[in-house]
Amino acid sequence: MKTVVPMRKRSKYRPKGLILNPVGYVMESMTPIAKHGSFLIDLKIKNHLAMSRLTRGQANRDDIEKLMAVINVVEALHRMGFGREYKDVVNGGLDALQAVGKRGATTGRFILRAQEMMALNTMMELHDAQMDIITVKDLEKAVAIVEAEFRAGRMRTIVEKKNERAESAT
């Protein structure tokens, strides 16, 4: 016969990660992203390539996801106060990407209309301007806001859930 040994309760304590160079970390977080030339250039190339593919009608889901990430960061930075006067640009970009995404989700092809292209181009210009003035710490905060919104389920979806469709039909 086996003896049953009660299992110990797992501790909720989880140690935080160690920062090997705290002074370097603080100095890095105060550095504007524009000073990180290669990072900013790579980011702009990826984002503008996705936008270019969308304008030519060659976009796939990966390109749409990149543009969603861009507009989520733009919206988070807008909430933090970077470009607060451009609320209509942020909302127009969100609406345009949602409309393109809904059409593309059913057909598999992401085709822009003229107004949507203008709204998304203006949103990309705002994103580039925001990236030129923010610091690494600001970008980290914006990404944390986006992740918190995603976990809480408060983000706008491109494709409606089945329950939402049924409720809106009644």
pLDDT digits over 147-159, tens only? 999 999 888 777 6
Separation in Å, CA 142 to CA 50, 147, 170: 21, 9, 37
Q: How many CB atoms are closer than 10 A to CB 75?
A: 22
Q: Is the pTM of this model over 0.75?
A: yes
pLDDT at site 31: 85
In a 3-state reduction of DSSP, which class is residue 32?
strand
Q: Are 44 and 131 in contact (CB under 8 A)?
A: yes
Q: Residue 146 above 60 pLDDT?
A: yes
Structure-token pair, residue 48: 């503008």
Say if residue 157 is exposed, middle or buried (CB neighbours under 10 Å; 0-12, 13-18, 19+). exposed
The dihedral built from the CA positions of residue 159, 69, 114 and 46, taken in this order, carries a sign that is negative
Q: How many CB atoms are closer than 10 A to CB 97?
A: 25
pLDDT at site 165: 44
